[in-house]
Structure 1
Amino acid sequence: MESDLADLFVRAAKRIRRAQTERLAPLGLTPAQARVLRLVVGGGPLRMVDLADRLQVVPRSVTTLVDALEEAGLVTRTPDPANRRSLLVEPTERGRAVRAEMAGIRRQAAEEVLAPLTAEQREVLRGLLTVIDDAGGGGCPGRHRPRG
C-alpha cells in the first residue's frame, strides 16, 4: 500500500516535471538552469559556493549552469567585494523577466497535471504536502522555498 502511494507520488511529480520541461524549452532553459535562475532572482546576489550548497551539487556543476545562463544574458558574475576569490551571481533585467515568465510556466504545468482535482481536493493535497515538507525540515539543508 505504501509503495503504491510512493509510486503514485513519484509519477505525478514526473508528469509535472515533464510538463515544465516542455514549456521551458522555448525559453532555451533546462530544468536545472531554471532552478538556478529562480534561486538567483529570489535570493541573489549569491556566491557560487552558496548556490552549489542550496542546489546540493558540487561547485563545478554550478559553474556549468551559470556559464549557460550568463551566455544567455540572464545572469552576470562579479567579484565579491567581501572576498575577491569568490564570485557573486546576479540576475540581469532579462533574467528577472524570464524568471517572471517561468512562474507562469510552472503554474501552467501544475495546472495541467492537477486538472482532474476539484479546488477542494487541491487544498487538501496542498495541506498534506505542506505537512510532509515541514516534517522534513523543508527538504534540503540550506533550501529556501521557491516562490512561483
Structure 2
Amino acid sequence: MTSTSPKSTPSLLYSVKRLELAIRSHLDEMLRGSGITTLQYTALTVLAHRDGISAAQLARDSFVTPQSMADMVRALEQRELIHRTPNPDSKRELLVYITESGRGLLRDYAAAADTIEERMAAALPAGQVEAFRTALGIAWSALRRQ
C-alpha cells in the first residue's frame, strides 16, 4: 500500500526543475539589455561548439521546438549573429553558422556566465563538481534513450 503523505524531501524532478528555473532567472538578468533572449543565447552557445548544423538539430540541442527555432533563426540572422548557407548534401536544407558578431556577443558575456556557474557550484566540495556534471550527463542520457 502506498502512502499519501507528502515526502519529507523534494523529488529529484522538482529539484532539477527548480535549479533550471534559478539558472534561467540569472541568465535572463545577465542578458537584460543585450537584445537577445536566454533561448537565443543558448542557441549561440550550441553553434559555438557545433557550427554548421541544421535548424532542426539546433532546435533539439537548444531545447526548443522546430517552430520556435524557425523564428529564433530569423531573429538571430536579422541581428547578423548567425548566417545560413545551403547544405551541399541536401538541396533543401540550410546549415546554420555563428558569425564573428555572434562569437563576440558570447565573449562579451562569458565572464558573467562563468560567474553564474561558479556561484552555483561554490557550495559543492571540490571533487563533487565533476561528479555532479557527470551525474547530470548520465541522467540526461538515460532519458534520451527510447
Structure 1 moving runs of 4+ over 3 Å: 4-13, 55-58, 111-115, 138-141
Within 5 Å, which residues of 2 pair with 1:31-42? 31-42=38-49
Within 5 Å, which residues of 2 pair with 1:1-148? 1-3=8-10, 7-115=14-122, 117=123, 121-137=125-141, 140=144
Is 35-44 or 97-106 further displaced after alignment? 97-106
With structure 1 as the length reference, what TM-score do the two structures score? 0.75
- Higher normalized contact order (CA 8 Å, seq sep 6+, divided by chain length): 1
Distance (Å, rounded) in 2 between the aligned partners of 1:75 and 1:138: 32
Q: Assess, with a 3 A threshold, how the Cα gap between structure 1 residues 16 and 72 changes in structure 2: closer, same or farther.
A: same
Distance (Å, rounded) in 2 between the aligned partners of 1:21 and 1:80: 33
Coordinate RMSD, CA, aligned: 2.6
Q: Kindly provide the amino acid, as one letter, of the partner of residue 137 in structure 1.
A: S
Q: What is the CA distance between 1:7 and its match in structure 2? A: 4.4
Instruction: Give the conservation status (yes or no) of the 8 Å contact 1:133–1:139.
Output: no
Instruction: Give the conservation status (yes or no) of the 8 Å contact 1:21–1:30.
Output: yes
| SS at structure 2 position matched to 1:3 | coil
Q: Assess, with a 3 A threshold, how the Cα gap between structure 1 residues 47 and 100 changes in structure 2: closer, same or farther.
A: same
Cα deviation per residue 1:21-68 (whole Å; 9 max; x = unaligned)? Answer: 101122212111011111112101111122223335432211111111
User: For the pair shown, which has the larger CA radius of gyration, 1 or 2?
Assistant: 2
Distance (Å, rounded) in 2 between the aligned partners of 1:29 and 1:112: 23
Q: Kindly provide the amino acid, as one letter, of the partner of residue 88 in structure 1.
A: L
Question: Tell me, which stretches of 5 or more residues in structure 2 are unaligned?
Answer: 1-7
Instruction: Give the conservation status (yes or no) of the 8 Å contact 1:24–1:105.
Output: no
| SS at structure 2 position matched to 1:39 | helix
Instruction: Give the conservation status (yes or no) of the 8 Å contact 2:121–2:129.
Output: no
Is 127-136 or 78-87 further displaced after alignment? 127-136
Aligned length: 138
Q: Assess, with a 3 A threshold, how the Cα gap between structure 1 residues 69 and 28 changes in structure 2: closer, same or farther.
A: same
Question: Tell me, which stretches of 5 or more residues in structure 1 are unaligned?
Answer: 142-148
Cα deviation per residue 1:49-95 (whole Å; 9 max; x = unaligned)? Answer: 22223335432211111111111110011211221200111111111
